[in-house]
Structure 1
Amino acid sequence: MKHLQYYDVPISVGDLEIGMNVVSLDRPWEETNFLMQGFIIKSQDEIYQLQAQCEQVFVQVKIEDIDAFKRKLEAKPKKPDGKTHRPGVDGPVTETPVHYTDTIVFEDAVEASRVTFDDARSMANNVLDGLRFSRNIKMDDCRGAVEEIVDSVLANKDALRFLSQIKNKDNYTAEHSMNVCILSATFARHLGLLDFEIKTIALCGLLHDVGKANIPLDILNKPGRFNSGEARMMAQHTTFGRNILMSMEGSHRHAVDVAHSHHERIDGKGYPRALSEDAIPYYAKLVSVVDAYDAMTSDRVYGTPKSSEFALDILLKNAGTQFDEALVKEFVKCIGVYPVGCLVELKSGEIAVVVGSNDLDPASSKILIVSDDKKQPNPFERIVNLATENVEGKSIVKELANGSFGFDVKKYIQKDLSLYQS
């Protein structure tokens, strides 16, 4: 009886095909999400996951087939630079975006997501506090929190983003990390990325600023402008973040990339390495857009929050120089004209909070009216759906920065929206 003999052949993840027998990876199996140590590829999704987590794997090939196998690999078309596509560096792993639809209505999703939001807030705090006290990041806990965040975002694109407007300037760094995590997942969903990619990007968002744990608190929380020495120290948070994540057990290369590179610029004038355009990892480009948007729209010790419209305008003005132009354009579409949680002024002079987006007609969103026409608090707050109710003077005129006329959206987000239903 003849015994078949095999070679274990190294192969780039860009050359994988369905039917190949993967026998080992370029990293320990326990550092990946694969349950089996060795398997035959049965779906394109398994190829995508291998591409996202590895650069090279070993596949088993019969000895008599080895020459034909190598010729087939050599005949495969390569990119112009001869390099294999690396997901997360060059872009998404699939060229066919996934179309996601909400499975839970907004009001129900908000209430269902409150525990997830509170858990995410606690996790972001624990990460930074733990590092300041020389404790390692508990990556399993981080991934668990991210799983819940992504599940919520996939169920309803607006619920967690609405809750993320509950911001506390005295705890800005941790809450900023949580908000970037949530908004990065929302943006990745909008881009139609695959489920596991969205989770990877959300984890990158959560950990993008871990290096700030090594910045002295008197600098981190300084209310005024930094002097040159303080600015140099603050800029080191990207390198500190890289070093923290690289010192941890396991492989977290995408999180390392984002922590190290989210302040690089397309024009090569960023830091810490002055990378430009294609040299900047794709996930870092994505998170940098989200990072800037959340920073501008947040209440910080050294600045008042700007309106979403203002922040998006700044992103557009800096597209192609500071930020990736294509990503900025998509991000503007993702956020929309009047995003949930923003404060708006109506034609009647009243003030309202947007509690339901309308992608087809932003001026006809669902709103919670919180003032009278003199901009005084209205004790009879109620929700009006401008798309279905023809109410005189209730169309949206413009967005207002949170805090305008003394109205803070946090007050209304913390309440059960069903109490306001008309």
Structure 2
Amino acid sequence: MVVFTLVNSFVNAAGGHLIKSKHRSRSGQQYIVNQRHSRRQVAVNELSIGMFVAELDIPWEESPFLFQGFLLESQEDIQVVQDSCEYVYIDVVEEEWVADHGHAPAAAPRSRTRYVEKQDMAQQLSQANRTYQAAKKQVKQLLASAQMGQALDSQQAQEVVKDCVDRVMGNPNAMLWLTRLKGQDEYTAEHSVNVCLLAISLGRLLDLAPYELENLGMCGLMHDLGKMKVPPEILNKPGPLEPEEFREMARHTVYGKQLLMSRADIYPGAIDVAYSHHERLDGKGYPRGIDSHKISRFTRIVTIVDAYDAMTSDRCYKPGMSSVEALRIINRNLGTQFDADIARTFISMIGLYPPGYLLEMTNGEVGIILSSNPGFQLKPKVIMILDAAKEPQPERILNLAYSPVDDFGQPYQPQNVYRSGCFGINVGDYVHRGLRIKGFEYSLSEPEQA
């Protein structure tokens, strides 16, 4: 049995980052294994498949690479790096094995270095989907408990949020994909999960520690719990609310606070976020109309991602707007409704070509955006699915970072971004049936039972 003991993180003089200590047994001997993340400069002629390139010797925007950080998966990948750089920095894990003799004097430690192994997108997407579905199931249980006046299972919610944090840290693009797969009939549950995931993803870019990301995820997951106390005829009304109906809808913030305060083991910040996520920096929000000095950082984060997911979601009374439109509204309200610095980071995170949206090329072909990264957003990786006549074509991956050309020798150039549903394409259908693409195979479907 391997026992993990987490220790406080620190950065040593060499730039290494101690991530954990473990107790391991080998050949009957007990060892304490200290693991440390670090980066090592490597000449490009020393690269090999399986290494993870974390930094270049040139600015990322001057490189042909899609990701700020990528796995070398083929000799072709290595050749592209060699054509662009003289040296790069590789992520490694340094391990120090110290014999554990109880209280006896410690023997001299032994050291080794191994390269960080990154899981491929196929496995990440499959795991991400399981996490998403588990989170949605947990939210449904929380909503049902709130509606029926039962006790909330906060322990199970914390475990789900921790898994969400792990998945976001492993592959943010995989989780962002899943926030696009929305169903109008399950809006409240999916919205709560999406806000949780978007908040964690944004918190990651704001350099929050893992325990802070878990707390922030809890805030996102439970921010709308109070809606279960709003009458269904108001919550699901297919049209504009009357003034009194809006006042009742606004009370969901108060109901949420009351529900969460009934549990002693709930993270206190989640109570504040549930109560305050419709407040504005200029004091024109609700329910209290407080100004920026009384709005916490976690509330500011959830306010932004809550508004974005709500604006881009289909509702019974209106279709959702495009990602670009929603980002324009957020940008237009910087400093009044939304925290300017946090919102700018969020806009950068989502980017012009967010994963899970449809991308039409200048030649008329259409694909699904697979991935993008802050800092290098103009050349996404795309799954091409429709030809220029908007007819299905054999599915294939295009990495625009490599400047591919079409059958007429013209370079592929992005033209317009569309929401799922345009051109008769439902992104969720593609994902749930499991895409099978040469050179990039993955599925979000659960494997069939034998």
Same fold (TM over 0.5): yes
Alignment of 1:36-51 (within 5 A): none
- Aligned-partner SS, 1:254: helix
Alignment of 1:8-407 (within 5 A): 103-376=118-391, 378-388=392-402, 390-391=404-405, 392-407=410-425
Task: State which drifts further: 328-337 or 392-401.
Answer: 392-401
Task: State which drifts further: 321-330 or 409-418.
Answer: 409-418
TM-score under structure 1 normalisation?
A: 0.74
Q: Is the 8 A contact 1:163 1:413 kept in 2?
A: no
Give the distance between the partners of 2:411 and 2:69, measured in 1 at CA: 32
- Structure 1 counterpart of 2:434: 416
Q: 1:177 to 1:251 in 2, by over 3 A?
A: closer
Deviation at 1:342, TM superposition (A): 1.1
- Aligned-partner SS, 2:341: helix
Q: 1:363 to 1:348 in 2, by over 3 A?
A: farther
Q: 1:105 to 1:351 in 2, by over 3 A?
A: same
Deviation at 1:389, TM superposition (A): 5.2
Deviation at 1:164, TM superposition (A): 2.0
Q: Is the 8 A contact 1:130 1:137 kept in 2?
A: yes
Give the distance between the partners of 2:298 and 2:241, measured in 1 at CA: 28
Give the distance between the partners of 2:243 and 2:310, measured in 1 at CA: 21
Larger strand share, 1 or 2: 2
Give CA-to-partner distance per residue, 1:79-125, whole Å, 9 cap, x none.
Answer: xxxxxxxxxxxxxxxxxxxxx97843433311222211110111111
Larger helix share, 1 or 2: 1
Give the distance between the partners of 2:267 and 2:402, measured in 1 at CA: 48
- Structure 2 counterpart of 1:53: none
Give CA-to-partner distance per residue, 1:305-359, whole Å, 9 cap, x none.
Answer: 2111111111000111111111111111111220111111111112211012154
- Structure 2 counterpart of 1:20: none
1:380 maps to amino acid: P
Deviation at 1:203, TM superposition (A): 0.6
Q: 1:211 to 1:366 in 2, by over 3 A?
A: same
* Identity over aligned pairs, percent: 36
Q: Is the 8 A contact 1:180 1:287 kept in 2?
A: yes
Q: Is the 8 A contact 1:347 1:393 kept in 2?
A: no
- Aligned-partner SS, 1:270: coil
- Aligned-partner SS, 2:394: strand
Give CA-to-partner distance per residue, 1:152-211, whole Å, 9 cap, x none.
Answer: 001111111102211110110111001101111111111111000001001100000000
Deviation at 1:383, TM superposition (A): 1.7
Q: Is the 8 A contact 1:369 1:384 kept in 2?
A: yes
Q: 1:328 to 1:408 in 2, by over 3 A?
A: same
Unmatched runs of 5 consecutive residues or more in structure 1: 1-34, 36-41, 46-99
Q: 1:266 to 1:360 in 2, by over 3 A?
A: closer
Q: Is the 8 A contact 2:387 2:393 kept in 1?
A: no
Unmatched runs of 5 consecutive residues or more in structure 2: 11-67, 71-117, 441-450
1:413 maps to amino acid: V
Deviation at 1:401, TM superposition (A): 2.6
Give the distance between the partners of 1:360 and 1:286, measured in 2 at CA: 20
- Aligned-partner SS, 1:354: strand
Q: 1:287 to 1:358 in 2, by over 3 A?
A: closer
Q: Is the 8 A contact 1:107 1:418 kept in 2?
A: no
1:306 maps to amino acid: M
1:281 maps to amino acid: S
- Aligned-partner SS, 1:112: helix
Give the distance between the partners of 2:306 and 2:69, measured in 1 at CA: 25
- Structure 1 counterpart of 2:30: none
TM-score under structure 2 normalisation?
A: 0.69
Deviation at 1:367, TM superposition (A): 0.5
